[in-house]
Amino acid sequence: MPLALYDTWSRTVRPFISIHAGEVGMYCCGPTVYDYAHIGNLRTYVFEDILRRALMHNGYEVRHVVNITDVGHLTSDADEGEDKMEKGSRRVGESAWAIAQRYTEAFVTDWRALHLLEPTVWCRATDHIAEQITFISELERVGYVYRTDDGLYFDTSKQDNYGFLARLNRAGLQAGKRVAVGNKKNITDFALWKFSPSGITRQMEWDSPWGRGFPGWHIECSAMSAKYLGNWFDLHCGGEDHISVHHSNEIAQTQAAHGTRLANFWMHGHFLTLDANTKMSKSGGDFIRLQTLQSRNIDPIAYRYLCLTAHYRSKLHFSWASLDAAQIALSRLRNLYFGWPDGGRIDPDFAARFDAEVNEDLNLPRALAVLWELIKSALPPATLRATVDSFDSVLGLGLRDWKPLVSDLPESIQVLLSEREQARAERNWAKADDIREKLNAQGWRIEDSKEGQRVIGVTTERTDIGNE
């Protein structure tokens, strides 16, 4: 089945055909580095990594660009409040530049712990001030910019289709507005360049043709994506919260300056929710980091596995029980895979079924079902390994790189452990118990836990081996 993806612009699943044959340009909105990322943020990046892997699985070469927002994102997405970097600087007691570096490094650490493929380009907003000024100048030249006491703004009234991505009712917003808009002409207008407050020296500010200040949040992505991918590229991704403001404004800017909606496909991952169906957020105090999971002996890849169990366009409810279940499933998969020999061939029927689910708008829950059906099949172990290998190029679980804690077990014992894990996966408890007894008879004691089966010790006949 050819690859088909959901496009937020058209609100349809439609066939994906790249603009340039065999090549894909993909821009993903990265973090605002005023604090650590939480696992709700990270769910979006897992979705985008699966998308990239699926594109590569379909034979595309992907140019993947991820930005780092280290200036310009105000505490309200609607250009109100203060710069999050300045606020974060006061909270931590360090310079905005220092916390940007600290939280960028922490984000990249999380990125790699989740087996996310390294982007082709990381780009920081503060490294591209010149490009943003040039973009604003072009918007000014074509008549979309007006000036207020606090900055330059984009006039959304000049575009009949402004907000189409989010299906915004601009007339309703204007009539029912309950917020102060200052000197803005319209409630949907947004900042392109903000002036530094009089008498206050900001940590991050630059000279411009309009006065000293800093860029708005939205202009950075339009400018940087155009620099690295051009004014019309294949895919622009982010979280669902980007649809109504950030991505709508990126489109408006690029339509005005270059006559395109920037990307052929706009794709969005949905929220990770907690109790009462509320999204995880820093401002709400619901802040679980990847390191929080690790402190509870949860492998980061177990969280990645959990993300695969829900479609990227559906809410994923987080609970510790669901994460424990994901860790158990991952452990079983790893142990089974480790016990299978190399040298097999990919099973074409299972491979075709897996590819069909992935290519139907990244239906990973159904793709995982195909994976477990494969594991329970009667195919030779070498075939299982080769086929799961091909699946993992999309799943990104890093199965080939994983090694069990006990690495000095005899090969014959590893084979029995693998057979027992297979029996457990098939819920053949009688066979699993029989193999346990065989292992016990040879001096090996086995314990089942949420991490899977483990050799936790040996009987007195095998005291020379030790635990690990």
Question: Do the domain assignments include residue 240?
Answer: yes
Write down the pLDDT at residue 172.
55
Last residue of a domain, one of 218, 237, 269: 269
How many angstroms separate the CA atoms of 468 and 456, rounded?
A: 8
Q: How many domains does the chain have?
A: 2
Question: Do the domain assignments include residue 253?
Answer: yes
Mean pLDDT of the 350-359 span: 98
Coil vs helix vs strand at 261 = coil
Write down the pLDDT at residue 442.
76
Coil vs helix vs strand at 27 = strand
Mean pLDDT of the 413-437 span: 85
pLDDT tens per residue across span 6-62: 999 999 999 999 999 999 999 999 999 989 999 999 999 999 999 999 999 999 999
123 among annotated binding-site residues: no
Q: How confident is the model at residue 376 (pLDDT cuts 50, 70, 90)?
A: very high
pLDDT tens per residue across span 159-183: 999 999 999 876 655 544 444 566 8
450 among annotated binding-site residues: no
CATH at 112: 3.40.50.620
246 among annotated binding-site residues: yes
Q: What is this structure's pTM?
A: 0.86
360 versus 427: the higher-pLDDT residue is 360
Question: Do the domain assignments include residue 194?
Answer: yes
237 among annotated binding-site residues: no
Domain that holds residue 462: 406-468
Tokens of 291: 């390191």
DSSP states of 290-322: HHHHHHTT--HHHHHHHHHTS-TTS-EE--HHH
pLDDT tens per residue across span 252-299: 999 999 999 999 999 999 999 987 566 766 665 567 999 999 998 899
How many angstroms separate the CA atoms of 308 and 50, rounded?
A: 9
Last residue of a domain, one of 230, 247, 269: 269
29 among annotated binding-site residues: yes
Last residue of a domain, one of 269, 291, 319: 269
Q: How confident is the model at residue 76 (pLDDT cuts 50, 70, 90)?
A: low
